Amino acid sequence: MNTKLTLRVSDMVVAEAKTHAARRGKSVSQMFREFIVSLSAPESEETLPPTTRSLLGVMKKHRVSESDYKKHLRERYL
């Protein structure tokens, strides 16, 4: 069963939503539905963007200690 939902947002937000939806060939309702469903879906490696997926586990491989990481940050930003 579909139920109507009313949201109150600025005209600018509505225009942006319609523009994004048109670019994707979808309705604003469909984009909103997909967004809400994605919030509760468990993330798996397959759903991550390729760049993010490639970074999984990188810190475990290099065994960087917290103290080494803090030292690196101090040297870089101070």
DSSP secondary structure, 22-34, as one string: HHHT--HHHHHHH
Contact 58, 64 (CB under 8 A): no
Contact 55, 46 (CB under 8 A): no
- pLDDT of 11-38, one tens digit each? 999 999 999 999 999 999 999 998 888 7
Helices (H) and strands (E) in the chain, counts: 5, 0
Select from 55, 59, 54, 56 the least CA-distant residue to 69: 59
- pLDDT of 47-74, one tens digit each? 777 888 888 777 776 777 888 889 988 9
**Could you list the residue range(s) of the whole structural domain that residue 23 is in?**
7-42
Say how many domains are in the chain. 1
The overall pTM is greater than 0.85:
no
Q: Is residue 17 part of a domain?
A: yes
Q: Is residue 36 part of a domain?
A: yes
Q: Is residue 75 part of a domain?
A: no
Q: Is residue 72 part of a domain?
A: no
More confident residue, 4 or 57: 4
Q: Is residue 64 part of a domain?
A: no
